[in-house]
């Protein structure tokens, strides 16, 4: 059951002296709102995924090119 305020559960069970009660809307404003506001929008998630895919593709291509170039570089070193 949702209440309009929050209080230490240990206080409610008689195990804590902290009887401070905080309004639920104040808690949501202070804790949940900043998290919600920072969550990326679906469009931002799509852009981030596309950027990650592009970077992965670039790095994979570079790694494949190194695999191709390496034998030639080794042969050149052995020849010198």
pLDDT in tens, 34-59: 888 888 889 989 999 999 999 999 99
Is a pLDDT exceeding 90 seen at residue 12? no
pTM, two decimals, is 0.46
Q: Structural domain tally of the chain?
A: 2
Shared domain check, 45 and 20: no
Residue 52: predicted pLDDT: 96
CB under 8 Å to 10, separation ≥6 — which residues?
Answer: 16, 18
Shared domain check, 53 and 21: no
CA gap 40, 38 in Å, rounded? 6
CB under 8 Å to 17, separation ≥6 — which residues?
Answer: 11
Is a pLDDT exceeding 60 seen at residue 1? no
Output the six-digit token pair for 24.
Answer: 């639920």
Shared domain check, 47 and 35: no
Shared domain check, 32 and 11: yes
Q: Which domain holds residue 63?
A: 41-80
Q: Using 50, 70 and 90 to split pLDDT, how confident is the model at 2?
A: low
Radius of gyration of the chain (CA): 29
Residue 6: predicted pLDDT: 86
Shared domain check, 45 and 35: no
CA gap 44, 5 in Å, rounded? 35
Shared domain check, 45 and 29: no
């Amino acid at each position: 059951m949702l209440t309009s305020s929050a209080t230490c559960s240990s206080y409610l069970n008689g195990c804590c002296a902290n009887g401070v009660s905080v309004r639920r809307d104040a808690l949501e404003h202070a804790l949940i709102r900043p998290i919600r506001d920072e969550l990326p929008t679906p469009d931002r998630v799509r852009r981030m995924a596309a950027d990650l895919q592009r970077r992965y593709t670039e790095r994979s291509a570079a790694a494949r090119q190194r695999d191709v170039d390496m034998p030639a570089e080794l042969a050149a070193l052995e020849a010198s």
